[in-house]
Chains A and B, each alone.
Chain A
Amino acid sequence: MSSSRIITLTSSDKVDFYVNEAVAFQSQTIKDVIGDGCEDKGTLLPNVTSEILSKVIEYCNMHVEAGKLEERSGVDEELKAWDAEFVKVDLDTLFDLIQAANYLNIKGLLDLTCLTVADLIRGKTPDEIRKTFNIEYQFTPEEEEELRRENQWASE
């Protein structure tokens, strides 16, 4: 007798989210903590804000729904396109999503977000990377010269 339970998830800023068990269990962490059968008394997620949690739930919802669809040509492509749109967010949100996916152990979301960051890095010059990610330049002129010499071939 499996009626889908409703799980309560509470964000760090004390906002409650009510989600289907199937959706919540996309997170291995939540699945491990809550277990099956027993009554759910609500789970506090102190590391995830409501802004991010709502996005995470949106992702999990879509992927649960997609899993139910019958296999027909185009489903995979549609889901990929949806994922691509989903990660069109500012960098800070992207990193928050990575942290959340890691903490909640949602493999698909972690893969997607890490891939997105890798795509952002690929093909950029070191200077462009520093600008994009706000990274401080820390080398002395001598250190930079040596590094450049060692990796000369990489820039050719």
Chain B
Amino acid sequence: MSSLSSKQSNVIDRSSKKQMQGICNLPRDIKFDILSRLLVKDLCKFRCVSKHWCNLISNPTFLDFYHERSSDNPRILMMNDSENDDNEQQQLIHLASMDLDGKVGNESMKRIYGDYIDMLPSGHGLICLFYENHFYLYNPATQEFVSLVQGSLSPCNDHGAGFGYVMSTKEYKVVHMFTQSESSTGFNIGCEILTLSNGDEASSRPWRVIDQCCPYLVTGCALLVDNVFYSTRADKHNNSSDYDLILALDLEEENFRTIRLPNPGSYDEENYMFLVELRGFLCLVDNFAIPPMMNIWMLKDAKNITWVKEYSIRFDILDGFDDVYTIVTPLLYHNEELVVDSDQDSLHYYNFEKESFRRGKRLNMQWDINQTWERPLRKTRLSLYTESFFSLGSR
């Protein structure tokens, strides 16, 4: 009899124990692990599941862990815009976030001032959009969208910009270059910087004009690597021995210097070369080598200017590659593959061991949202970002 009743009490104990067990009784590390696999938007929603979950999700240790993990899981931000109305100079843009397989997360539509809007990734949580001296910041994970204070004007309407994240200080930096005047002797280009920390009211952050003027005309967008913004020079000197064609803006010293290209004379100067960041290094991509090939030079030592030809990748094995028109952009080095954007409806992944490309899942490039597009769509563009809780201070 006593054994039976004790058995009964065991049964009761076990079931109520199981009721209390479950997700809340898991070790904290495990709870972190599980929650860090979710998107920011979901996690913010789940704060109101219970006090415990609220504390867990707001815990600074969890947030650090989350950001570390999300930086290993890049996602895509896709932007669509249309030909704009000449009268209004208003631009309707559509932003969609998705994972590398094209599974869509958030969507936003915004109406902003501008014609052709440039998209600047940071390699981290935020994306910057700009047109002339109008700048916008967007966090795809939280869908917070903010206009920055307008930048300085340029009488010749010539503007350039760059955007990046400084890991050591957890700040975002925007750089804006504006041509103030040009003459037979050269260009007078002003340069200003905007710095943003988590929780700052981004819309009221000021621009700070730096003392030194930018000595050269640059093309493309500036890239931030290790607290230095790099751009390629647009004004190649007629003197064919001038290969100092990369401009570096050191944010600490606030000065400009030029950097020699790797292995001058080993490629055609008319080649279209551009800069990307891979594995934390500045890289120069030479897309038009013969035979159809991409050479990627890596600036291994920024102080002593040591370039290494890190990758040489043949293009003719990339399906959909048309050697005249295709520009292949390396996006990042991920899981031991090089992820590239070759202007098709999927990303491609280059495997160094097999020396071959594999095609990623097809991405939805056509966003026909209830026929809200008033004018023809321009070409879809995409950047990579990582999920982050970074606040732009507008909510």
Contacts and interface: CB of A to CB of B under 8 A. Distances in A.
A56 to B, nearest CB: 16
Interface string A117-151: 11001110110011001111111000010011011
A33 interface: no
B51 A138 contact: yes
Given A102-B30, A144-B48, A122 B42 contact: yes
B48 A118 contact: no
Interface string A78-118: 00000000000001100100110010000000100011011
A102 B33 CA distance: 11
Main secondary structure of the interface of B (DSSP, over half): helix
A137 B54 CA distance: 12
Contacts of A99: 26
A3 interface: no
A111 B105 CA distance: 23
A117 B50 contact: no
B52 to A, nearest CB: 8
Given A126-B46, A135-B49, A154-B44, A121 B34 contact: yes
A148 B45 CA distance: 8
A48 to B, nearest CB: 15
Given A92-B21, A102-B27, A147-B54, A121 B395 contact: no
Size class of the contact patch on chain A: 20 to 34
Contacts, number: 85
A36 to B, nearest CB: 29
Contact of A114 (B24, B37, B142, B143): B37
Given A95-B23, A133-B22, A153-B143, A121 B38 contact: yes
A118 B38 contact: yes
A155 interface: yes
Given A126-B45, A126-B46, A154-B44, A139 B24 contact: no
B19 interface: yes
Nearest to A136: B50
Contacts of B47: 147, 150-151
Interface in B267-323: none
A114 B45 contact: no
Contacts of A130: 49-50
Size class of the contact patch on chain B: 20 to 34
Which of B25, B34, B42, B53 counts the most chain A CB atoms within 10 A?
Answer: B34
B110 interface: no
Nearest to A129: B49
Nearest to B15: A92
B18 A129 contact: no
A19 B48 CA distance: 45
A153 B38 contact: no
Contact of B48 (A117, A134, A147, A153): A147
Given A92-B18, A114-B30, A117-B34, A135 B45 contact: no
Interface in B1-37: 18-19, 21-27, 29-30, 33-35, 37
A151 B45 contact: yes
Contacts of A95: 21-23, 25-26
Given A114-B30, A153-B142, A135 B24 contact: yes
A123 B33 CA distance: 18
Contacts of B395: 150, 153
6 contacts: A92-B18, A114-B30, A130-B49, A151-B44, A151-B47, A154-B45
Given A122-B38, A147-B48, 18 more contacts: A92-B22, A95-B23, A95-B25, A95-B26, A102-B29, A110-B30, A114-B33, A118-B34, A125-B45, A139-B48, A139-B50, A147-B47, A148-B48, A150-B47, A151-B45, A153-B142, A153-B143, A153-B144
Closest 10 CB pairs of A and B: A118-B37, A154-B44, A154-B45, A147-B48, A126-B49, A151-B44, A138-B51, A133-B23, A114-B33, A114-B34
